[in-house]
Amino acid sequence: MLDEKQFKKLKTIEIPQYMYQIQVSKSRNVKYFHQESGRGRVKKALQDIPKKYKATSYDLLGFALNDKNEKIIANPLAAGTAKYVPINSQVLYSSSGQFIRSKIMKELHAYYSEIFEVLIPFTKQEYPLFVWIDWYAPNQHKTQDIDNFTYITEKAMFDSLQECGIIPDDTVDYICGQGSLFHEIKNFEDRKLEISFYTYMEKQQLKLL
49 and 109 belong to one structural domain: no
18 and 102 belong to one structural domain: yes
User: Mean pLDDT by 10-residue block, N- to C-terminus, for the chain (209 residues)?
Assistant: 81 92 75 87 87 89 90 82 72 64 84 91 92 91 74 90 93 91 92 94 56
109 and 63 belong to one structural domain: no
Total of domains in the chain: 2
Domain membership of residue 148 (yes or no) is: yes
Question: What is the reported pLDDT for 113?
Answer: 92
Q: Domain of 57? A: 27-81
Exposure string (b/e) for 56-86, b if CB count within 10 Å is 16 or more? eebeeeebbbbeeeebbbbbeeeeeeeeebe
Domain membership of residue 42 (yes or no) is: yes
66 and 91 belong to one structural domain: no
Question: What is the reported pLDDT for 29?
Answer: 79
CATH number assigned to the domain comprising residue 171: 3.30.1330
- The three-state secondary structure class of 84 is strand
pTM: 0.70
195 closest CA partner among 130, 111, 109: 130
Domain membership of residue 98 (yes or no) is: yes
Exposure string (b/e) for 124-154, b if CB count within 10 Å is 16 or more? eebbbbbbbbbbbbeeeeeeeeeebbbbbbb
171 and 100 belong to one structural domain: yes
Domain membership of residue 128 (yes or no) is: yes
16 and 87 belong to one structural domain: yes
Question: What is the reported pLDDT for 208?
Answer: 43
68 and 19 belong to one structural domain: no
77 and 164 belong to one structural domain: no
Residue 38 host element (H or E) = none
Strands 41-43 and 32-34, bridge-based pairing: parallel
Domain membership of residue 1 (yes or no) is: no
148 and 50 belong to one structural domain: no
117 and 17 belong to one structural domain: yes
